[in-house]
């Protein structure tokens, strides 16, 4: 899990009134002034907050103690918990490092009320600037309030999953090509295959629960999500399904590549053993003949020059016949 970047001390805040961005980067202390205004929608971001930081907003927003506890706990499962006055969301953004073959993930949580969205990031690696960019690119939807902000957050998270699995697909294709190379599979390819299996397993753990997260929002039509925003959340849900199916297919494919690597290594070893055995059989012929003539007993050609030439001829003839026979059977 990622989380090495230090959080920016500057708080991020935004105020929308009647669907128009009215103010941003105002002090967090002023957030409570707008909570009671039904025409106002407020977003503010907290990066690596302490328990005291969350306690300050917990009472004003009426946050459930379990939701606050989950926001402070690392490595939560992606989920959407619905309470009486708010929802608690836990998600992970993903980014695939193509050089290392590793998936980096950044954790974030969110509290969602009728007119307030509070994002809680564990580190700066969760690119909140990208979420803000998505809000600005679809400013016409700001009239739908918190649902508009929540959609931008989920859209960024799911798109990061999509980008990660797309980059992984390219790596898997490169690994497939190594299956047809003449050179043996080296430690580098084996390590990359292992890293890909780990990364795909991690991606699946953060992608699979997102189906239930978005599906819960779709089922609770009218409570936190305006009906006009449903097509946009349905689009996010479609992307979640595509990423899930793509991840599962890549997991199966990388498992097949791993099995193919092992099978090809076994076949290559069998071929080497077959050739070594064939040469051993050929070498055994002169060993047998010279060993026979090494006996301390009289035999045809004993102490005669022609005996030496006969034995040499037999060695060459039988070895040549064996070599030809083994080559015909593709043993050499």
pLDDT in tens, 134-188: 999 998 899 998 999 999 999 999 999 999 999 999 888 887 777 666 666 667 7
Do 93 and 225 belong together in one domain?
yes
Residue 213's SS3 state is helix
Q: In the predicted model, what is the mean pLDDT of residues 195-215?
A: 91
Q: How much helix, strand and coil, in percent to the nearest 5, is found in the chain?
A: 60, 15, 25
The distance in angstroms from the start CA to the end CA of the chain is 52
How sure is the predictor about 285, in pLDDT bands with cuts at 50, 70 and 90?
confident
Report the length, in residues, of the chain: 332
For 91, list phi and psi in degrees, rounded to 5: -140, 170
Q: Residue 233 burial by CB count (10 A; 0-12/13-18/19+): exposed, middle or buried?
A: buried
Do 113 and 237 belong together in one domain?
yes
Residue 97's SS3 state is strand
Q: What is the pLDDT of residue 158?
A: 95
Q: In the predicted model, what is the mean pLDDT of residues 202-227?
A: 84
DSSP bridge partners of 47? 121
DSSP 225: B
Do 251 and 287 belong together in one domain?
no
Pick from 269, 226, 274, 245: nearest CA to 169:
245
- Look at residue 35 and tell me if it is in a domain: yes
> How many domains, the chain?
2
Pick from 47, 106, 42, 32: nearest CA to 76:
106
Q: At what angle do helices 146-177 and 230-293 cross, to 10 degrees?
A: 20
**Residue 181 structure tokens:** 């190379």
Do 218 and 86 belong together in one domain?
yes
- Look at residue 213 and tell me if it is in a domain: yes
Q: Determine contact, residues 97/116, Cβ cutoff 8 Å.
A: no
DSSP bridge partners of 112? 87, 117
Core vs surface per residue 266-282: b (16+ CB within 10 A) or e: eeeeeeeeeeeebeebb
- pLDDT tens profile 299-319: 666 667 777 777 778 778 877
Do 148 and 287 belong together in one domain?
no
Domain that holds residue 294: 277-328
Do 168 and 283 belong together in one domain?
no
Do 78 and 201 belong together in one domain?
yes
Domain endpoint, select from 243, 265, 287: 265
Q: Determine contact, residues 175/193, Cβ cutoff 8 Å.
A: yes
Most confident of 18-32, 91-105, 264-278, 299-313: 91-105
Domain endpoint, select from 214, 241, 265: 265
| Percentage of the chain lying above the pLDDT 90 cut | 33
Residue 39's CATH number: 3.30.460.20
**Cα gap 119→137, rounded to integer Å:** 19
**Cα gap 14→1, rounded to integer Å:** 29
């Amino acid at each position: 899990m990622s989380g090495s970047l230090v959080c920016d001390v500057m708080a991020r805040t935004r105020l929308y009134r009647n669907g128009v961005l009215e103010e941003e980067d105002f002090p967090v202390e002023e957030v409570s002034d707008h909570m009671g205004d039904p025409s106002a929608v407020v977003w503010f971001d907290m990066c690596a907050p302490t328990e005291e930081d969350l306690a300050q907003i917990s009472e004003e927003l009426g946050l459930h103690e379990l939701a606050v506890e989950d926001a402070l706990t690392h490595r939560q499962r992606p989920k959407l918990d619905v309470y009486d006055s708010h929802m608690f969301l836990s998600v992970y953004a993903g980014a695939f490092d193509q050089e290392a073959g590793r998936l980096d993930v950044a954790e974030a949580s969110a509290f969602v009320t009728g007119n307030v969205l509070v994002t809680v990031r564990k580190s700066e690696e969760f690119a909140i600037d990208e979420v803000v960019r998505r809000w600005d690119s679809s400013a016409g939807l700001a009239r739908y309030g918190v649902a508009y902000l929540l959609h931008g957050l989920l859209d960024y998270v799911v798109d990061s999953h999509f980008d990660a699995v797309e980059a992984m697909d390219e790596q898997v294709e490169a690994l497939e090509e190594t299956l047809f190379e003449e050179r043996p599979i080296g430690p580098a390819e084996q390590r990359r295959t292992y890293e890909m299996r780990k990364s795909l397993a991690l991606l699946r753990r953060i992608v699979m629960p997102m189906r239930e997260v978005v599906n819960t929002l779709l089922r609770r039509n009218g409570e936190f999500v305006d009906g006009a925003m449903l097509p946009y959340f349905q689009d996010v849900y479609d992307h979640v399904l595509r990423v899930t199916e793509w991840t599962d297919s890549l997991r199966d494919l990388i498992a097949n590549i791993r099995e193919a690597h092992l099978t090809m290594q076994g076949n290559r070893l069998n071929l080497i053993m077959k050739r070594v055995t064939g040469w051993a059989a050929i070498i055994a012929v002169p060993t047998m003949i010279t060993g026979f003539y090494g006996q301390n007993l009289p035999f045809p050609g004993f102490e005669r020059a022609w005996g030496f030439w006969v034995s040499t001829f037999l060695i060459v003839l039988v070895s040549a016949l064996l070599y030809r026979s083994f080559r015909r059977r593709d043993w050499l």
